[in-house]
Structure 1
């Protein structure tokens, strides 16, 4: 693959994208949330570890976090891998983790919000929000807010910091956000896959509004990594079986989607993080490692007023403003 103008397809792997833009990631600090060894975040970390200056991996389970670090170091002994305890279901944990990162001597160049809540029964978190919306949108929004000064400080004439929100094609499978349900969650209205789609739509809107409000000083992207079977959470598998996305045997249903491997899914994440050709196009949504056409984006997400409304609502839920100083 030529690094001059590589061509990516749905079969491109994360390692191929990282290799094509090895110069772009050299010396960079990348933070990836949700990096258990069977997940997309790990595939992303693995692709970037070879050339990045520092890869910060996160998790709420210390044993799994160590397992991820050990696996990365075994493959790339020279890689600089730093584990960070982070439970995105807890705002206190988010604040503690952000404070730790802000105290690092190294700059922070790229933040990849990848962690995801299980798709399961109606559950409220400690802040009385539906847990998928909270863990997939509200608390990553808070984490990003707390790290924004450090991200902005990494900016140079040749480099603009990037923030990614890992979304899904599912964001376009609903008509829009149910504003009232987000603020006042109702068990009677809960559908696990529908809640997932709501949070993924929020991710697309957040990337657009973060780019706009920062006046492009942060380039933020959302993306669909592909339909990928990580298969490690039983509640998610059960919810997907109910919708026919998984078969009755709990296996990916090959008739409803084109499935990707984790390494193929990680390709679009790596492209959004380091491809220099999308510089200045913050707010865009990527599919198969390239910017997608508007026909692949929810009409609701294309309306700027919705992005502004979600941002304002999220600030209200958190009780604090997001500033760019």
Structure 2
């Protein structure tokens, strides 16, 4: 019999169509949580939703209107949200802009989850105490946040550094929540799940090549191993000891870019992101 450590808690997992998002959703449902799942592929998401006993919430993070609709649908289904798992993301070729005109790594990895989390703040606050888990990456170390050029309008976007910048933004956003939403009882944590052998990088020719090669088994960990840190943090819940911190797999205080603790970056990214998505 599975332990019911998540009984009575409601969780939303983004990027739940496959990989660690799908695995985390299944495990948390098995532990008694009410789990909502969202992803961009209706075909992939449907069996995951069936497995956790819910209806699929299809949304493409390359479209901010999809994110707004998703937040509305979540609000219609649940009054409170105990855990928001911002797991959607990946490395994407920067050649094409999103439907909203943004560089795709910036929008999918940061701007969309920033908007979703802000729109779901009432549900997170209604829980009394809640947790936001942001899936980041050791790739944050190759990122660089340029506040006056977040969308690469004045410099060339290169795929891996752009991805790394998005993952750095996940940590910076985590710190922003920790500083701003404490009065709502909202705790935030960022986590690097490890080099997971899933569909990460499916939109990248180069990453896809590695993940389809025999090198994959040497370079990556399994999907259950990658989902385990997310599940462990969700079970731990809104512990003040994790607030604003960056975990590397199961250990606190992973290696992070120096910008992650720069207050001007933390404030500047929040303010510019809010303006870009139309939040007051």
TM-score > 0.5 by shorter chain = yes
Counterpart for residue 267 of structure 2: 308
Aligned partner of 1:173 among 126, 132, 142: 142
Structure 2: give runs of 5+ residues left out of the alignment.
Answer: none
Match of 1:226 in 2: 194
Mark the CA change 1:301 to 1:50 in structure 2 (over 3 Å): closer, same or farther.
Answer: same
Give the distance between the partners of 1:276 and 1:66, measured in 2 at CA: 27
Residue 166 of structure 2 is aligned to residue 193 of structure 1: no
Q: If each structure's helix is expressed as a fraction of its own residues, which one has the higher value?
A: 2
* Structure 1 residue 134: Cα displacement: 0.5
Work out the number of aligned pairs and report it.
Answer: 278
The structure number with the bigger radius of gyration is 1
Provide, for residues 93-116 of structure 1, a one-character-per-residue CA deviation record: whole Å limited to 9, x for no partner: 111111111112452111011111
Secondary structure of the residue that 1:81 maps to in structure 2? coil
Query: What is the TM-score normalised by the length of structure 1?
Result: 0.78
Q: CA deviation at 1:120?
A: 1.7
Aligned: 1:68 with 2:48:
yes
> Helix, strand or coil: the match of 1:189?
coil
For residue 37 of structure 2, give the secondary structure of its aligned residue in structure 1.
Answer: strand
Show the 5 A alignment for 1:46-195. 46-70=26-50, 72=51, 79-155=52-128, 160-174=129-143, 176-185=144-153, 189-195=156-162
Q: For the structure 1 residues 93 and 231, does the alpha-carbon distance in structure 2 shift closer, same or farther, using more than 3 Å as the test?
A: closer
Partner of 2:252: 291
Aligned CA-pair RMSD: 2.4
Name 1:238's counterpart in structure 2: 206
Q: Does 1:32 align with 2:13?
A: yes
Contact 2:136/2:167 (8 A) holds in 1: yes
Cα distance change, pair 182–240 in 1 and its aligned pair in 2 (3 A): farther
Structure 2 residue 243 is the aligned partner of structure 1 residue 282:
yes
Deviations 1:1-59 (A, max 9, x none): xxxxxxxxxxxxxxxxx95xx43x1111100001123x110111121011233100112
- Corresponding residue of 1:75: none
Q: CA deviation at 1:318?
A: 1.5
1:270 aligns with 2:231: yes
Matched, 1:42 2:22: yes
CA contact (8 A) 1:161 1:218 kept: yes
Task: Flag structure 1 segments of 5+ consecutive residues without an equivalent.
Answer: 1-17, 73-78
Aligned 8 A contact 2:130 2:237 in 1: no
